[in-house]
Amino acid sequence: VFGIDEEKMVRRTIEEILARLKLEKFNSLEITRVASEASKHFLGVRYVTVSAQSRHIQGPARSAVA
């Protein structure tokens, strides 16, 4: 995500990732890397990179009691 304010860029990136998770019906997110160094520029514009893994955590198995 491109922008000026580093904190807002990270927040916006995570919000976009979470929006995609809702569409795919996952219920867990592991953020594995956030790279937002001031030296990262593309055509003079700062950017951040967020790496994440989506997971679907299942609840405990229910046993049938007779």
Q: Which helix (H) or strand (E) holds 24?
A: helix 6-24
Instruction: Give Cβ neighbours of residue 14 (< 8 Å, ≥ 6 apart).
Output: 31, 50, 52
Q: Which helix (H) or strand (E) holds 52?
A: strand 49-55
pLDDT in tens, 20-64: 888 887 888 888 988 876 556 767 777 788 888 888 787 666 666
Q: What is the pLDDT of residue 39?
A: 54
Please answer whether residues 6 and 36 qualify as being in contact, where contact means their C-beta atoms are separated by less than 8 angstroms. yes
Number of Cβ atoms within 10 Å of the Cβ of 18: 13
Please answer whether residues 27 and 33 qualify as being in contact, where contact means their C-beta atoms are separated by less than 8 angstroms. no
pTM, whole model, 2 decimals?
0.61
Domain boundaries, the chain: 2-54
